[in-house]
Amino acid sequence: MEFSRFNVDTLMQITNRPSLVFTEGRGMWLTDHRGKRYLDYLQGWAVNCLGHSPQCIVDAATEQVKKLINPSPAFYNAPSIELATLLTDNSCFDRVFFANSGAEANEGAIKLARKYGKVNKNAAGENRYEIITFNHGFHGRTLATMSASGKAGWDTMFAPQVPGFPKAELNDIASVEKLITDKTVAVMLEPVQGESGVIPATREFMQALRTLTRERKLLLIVDEVQAGMGRTGELFAYQLSGIEPDIMTLGKGIGGGVPLAALLAKQEVSLFEAGEQGGTYNGNPLTTAIGAAILKELLKPGFLQSVKDQGAYLRQQLLQLSEKHGLDGERGEGLLRALKLGRDIGPKIVEIARDLEPAGLLLNSPRPDLLRFMPALNVTKEEIDQMISMLSGVIAQIDKV
């Protein structure tokens, strides 16, 4: 079918999309409306942690859709209890609330922290509600999570913003300490900043943050929407630094492609009372059955080790590529990595790579001087080699002009 036959103007224009309509996906590959194939290093924005339509999702979804889709969040259902049990058994948290997007899970984390600050008031008997977040951080696109994000311009885009999110600098503990007031209740961060270009918080910084927040009776909230669920080679990114946060949010990989997210908290912080938190689709058996199937795959012996191994291999290949083309090296954790281009050729690379024939390559350039790689966690060495060879050709082509 011709692209012009699709009536794309019926959709709101929320981003500039290429003139392609994707129709099928399997593993690391996508197919468009003309039948052209693409090696996909976006994977729905780090969402398809086992690639496009893995067998475990096909099976779990098919079975669950026949059994029960949604009895309403007013009743218990078995898949949500199974997934919550798997999550709490394999993390430092005790309680789970399921949501449908990362932003919604983060809204829940913000509400939970504010509730904590209401129950644990300051010395003057006032509610504590300020949550220190970070410049260049990303927490979602709802009003509160936009305010919590540290993206330039986001504070005025839909003003007035939600107050109470002073911004510190990642990996600078003094910048956090300086912002603490008698209204502060929590510090919230991504253990690896994703959208800002894959910038890991250091182990020392995470440990200093845990010590500081304990001393000042503040909650530590980790937004693992992008870095959680095995992406870094640990099941959760906070495990890289050997600390235990009070609250964690998950999204993206937890659903393997379907809308699922989670808010996790330690028992003493799980302060919601009946009526304070909810949502029509939250914890429905269809998406949580898929989430449970995914998590069981990630927990299979050797799986996380293979993420570490493939991450190390991707790192090595990116470093070689960087050397070959005179680029600026790479950074990241596990299979969330960035190639530093040293000049603003990212958008150009993305475009040329996508238009390669006979098969295209899908890449992401979160900043003009950077490429980000978010392959499926079960990506093979061959699929890494193939990407590197395609990318090398694209960079050589740009170097020539």
Ligand X SMILES: *Cc1c(COP(=O)(O)O)cnc(C)c1O
One character per residue 307-346, x = contact with ligand X (rule: CB under 6 A): ----------------------------------------
Buried/exposed 36-67: b ≥16 CB within 10 Å, e otherwise:
bebbbbbbbebbbbbbbbbebbeebbeebeee
- Report whether 226 belongs to an annotated binding site: yes
Q: Which of 181, 308, 178 is nearest to 235 (CA)?
A: 308
Helices (H) and strands (E) in the chain, counts: 12, 16
- Report whether 382 belongs to an annotated binding site: no
Q: Closest CB to ligand X among 253 and 360?
A: 253
Q: Closest CB to ligand X among 195 and 297?
A: 195
- Report whether 102 belongs to an annotated binding site: yes
- Report whether 141 belongs to an annotated binding site: yes
190 touching ligand X, by CB under 6 A:
yes
> What's the closest the beta carbon of residue 336 comes to ligand X, in angstroms?
10
The number of beta carbons lying within 10 Å of the beta carbon of residue 120 is 14
Residues 6+ apart with CB under 8 A from 24: 30, 31, 52
Site for ligand X in 260-299 (CB under 6 A): none
> What's the closest the beta carbon of residue 100 comes to ligand X, in angstroms?
8
CA 378 to chain centre: 17
Q: Closest CB to ligand X among 142 and 392?
A: 142
Burial classification of residue 287, based on how many CB atoms lie within 10 Å of its CB (0-12 exposed, 13-18 middle, 19 or more buried): buried
Residues in the chain: 401
> What's the closest the beta carbon of residue 66 comes to ligand X, in angstroms?
27
Site for ligand X in 113-152 (CB under 6 A): 138-140
Q: Identify which range of 30-38, 189-197, 233-241, 352-360 contacts ligand X by CB under 6 A.
A: 189-197
103 touching ligand X, by CB under 6 A:
yes
Cβ–Cβ under 8 Å, residues 129 and 117 = yes
Q: Please state whether 252 falls in left (phi above 0), alpha (psi between -120 and 50) or beta.
A: left
Q: Binding residue for ligand X (CB under 6 A) from 194, 200, 230, 346?
A: 194
User: Could you tell me the CA-to-CA distances from 194 to 85, 187, 298 in Å, in that order?
Assistant: 28, 18, 21
- Report whether 309 belongs to an annotated binding site: no
DSSP H stretches of helix in 229-331:
285-298, 303-325
Q: Identify which range of 101-109, 274-282, 294-302, 373-381 contacts ligand X by CB under 6 A.
A: 101-109
Cβ–Cβ under 8 Å, residues 202 and 234 = no
Residues 6+ apart with CB under 8 A from 30: 22, 24, 37, 38, 40, 52, 362
Q: Binding residue for ligand X (CB under 6 A) from 226, 284, 317, 378?
A: 226
251 touching ligand X, by CB under 6 A:
yes
Q: How far apart are the first and last CA of the chain?
A: 34
Q: Identify which range of 199-207, 222-230, 266-274, 281-289 contacts ligand X by CB under 6 A.
A: 222-230
**CB-side exposure of 255: number of CA atoms within 13 Å?**
25
- Report whether 258 belongs to an annotated binding site: no
Ranked by CB distance to ligand X, the top (closest) residue is: 102
Q: Which of 210, 151, 221 is nearest to 186 (CA)?
A: 221
Q: Binding residue for ligand X (CB under 6 A) from 42, 208, 225, 350?
A: 225
> What's the closest the beta carbon of residue 67 comes to ligand X, in angstroms?
26
> What's the closest the beta carbon of residue 42 comes to ligand X, in angstroms?
12
Q: Closest CB to ligand X among 87 and 345?
A: 87
Contact set with ligand X (CB under 6 A): 101-103, 106, 138-140, 190, 194-195, 223, 225-226, 251-252
Binding residues for pyridoxal 5'-phosphate: 102-103, 138, 223-226, 280
Binding residues: 102-103, 138, 141, 223-226, 280
